[in-house]
Chain A
Amino acid sequence: AQKVTQAQTEISVVEKEDVTLDCVYETRDTTYYLFWYKQPPSGELVFLIRRNSFDEQNEISGRYSWNFQKSTSSFNFTITASQVVDSAVYFCALSGPNRDDKIIFGKGTRLHILP
């Protein structure tokens, strides 16, 4: 069975601080995909990143970076120099190897960036 655990329900940091959102996953597939989505107060889910299970290279995109560690089944997300606009709920998600496999979402981490 597939499962995604985001142990941090809610995090508050002061603007400009760095913050890391944790994600631990479970799957029996040898090939799988991991995702992060952002859900701002407006409600829509915004795609941030997709990572293939065979690619363990860390990725950096501006102030965002992702640390994928297969050995610990973790896919953590770090925001550097946080900004108020980063305030949102962030979801980690997992899908199987096939193009149309459904996505299993974690419960999300609500991030508050305080001015």
Chain B
Amino acid sequence: EAEVAQSPRYKITEKSQAVAFWCDPISGHATLYWYRQILGQGPELLVQFQDESVVDDSQLPKDRFSAERLKGVDSTLKIQPAELGDSAMYLCASSSSVGLAGTNEQFFGPGTRLTVL
């Protein structure tokens, strides 16, 4: 069964260091999402790609966060420099742009749990 892959699963870093997370969506899925989930909260969208283009990055803290999906397939989310408040689970999801309008079923990866010390 096709799955969304993410790595690493866990990352511990010190404040002010740079970190990067990788996501490989389900093959053929044109839409890719990065969510941040703070402990005790629901996921919140950081950035959404349609192929290689950013569709929504309104909630991405652009002074320290960046995301790219250069070839429209896998994606990297970077934080530089990391701050204590960035400790969270970072979830990647993908969805297909074909099929019934509005179906919007997003498939989530296992997430990367980031701890900033």
A residues touching B (Cβ–Cβ < 8 Å)? 4, 31, 33, 37, 42-47, 50, 52, 91, 93, 95, 97-103, 105-108
Decide if A101 touches B104 in the complex (CB within 8 Å). Answer: yes
| Given known contacts A97-B102, A99-B103, A105 and B91 CB-to-CB distance under 8 angstroms | no
**Closest A residue to B45 using CB positions:** A102
Give Cα distance in the complex from A45 to B55, angstroms.
22
Decide if B50 touches A100 in the complex (CB within 8 Å). Answer: yes
Q: Specify which chain A residues have a CB less than 8 angstroms from the CB of B110 in the assembled complex.
A: 42-44
User: 28 interchain pairs (CB within 8 A)?
Assistant: A4-B42, A37-B108, A43-B111, A44-B108, A44-B109, A44-B111, A46-B108, A47-B106, A52-B102, A91-B42, A91-B43, A98-B102, A99-B95, A99-B97, A99-B101, A99-B104, A100-B31, A100-B48, A100-B95, A102-B45, A102-B48, A102-B56, A105-B42, A105-B44, A107-B40, A107-B41, A107-B42, A108-B41
B residues touching A (Cβ–Cβ < 8 Å)? 31, 33, 40-45, 48, 50, 55-56, 89, 91, 93, 95, 97, 101-111, 113
Decide if A108 touches B89 in the complex (CB within 8 Å). Answer: no
Q: Specify which chain A residues have a CB less than 8 angstroms from the CB of B106 in the assembled complex.
A: 47, 103
Additional 15 contacts, C-beta under 8 A, given A33-B102, A52-B102? A31-B102, A43-B113, A45-B91, A45-B93, A46-B108, A50-B104, A98-B102, A99-B102, A100-B31, A100-B50, A100-B55, A100-B104, A105-B44, A107-B42, A108-B42
Give Cα distance in the complex from A93 to B106, angstroms.
12
| Given known contacts A99-B97, A100-B31, A50 and B103 CB-to-CB distance under 8 angstroms | yes
Q: Specify which chain A residues have a CB less than 8 angstroms from the CB of B41 in the assembled complex.
A: 107-108
Give Cα distance in the complex from A59 to B48, angstroms.
31
Give Cα distance in the complex from A37 to B108, angstroms.
10
Give Cα distance in the complex from A106 to B44, angstroms.
10
Decide if A100 touches B42 in the complex (CB within 8 Å). Answer: no
How distant is B113 from chain A, measured CB to nearest CB, in Å?
A: 7
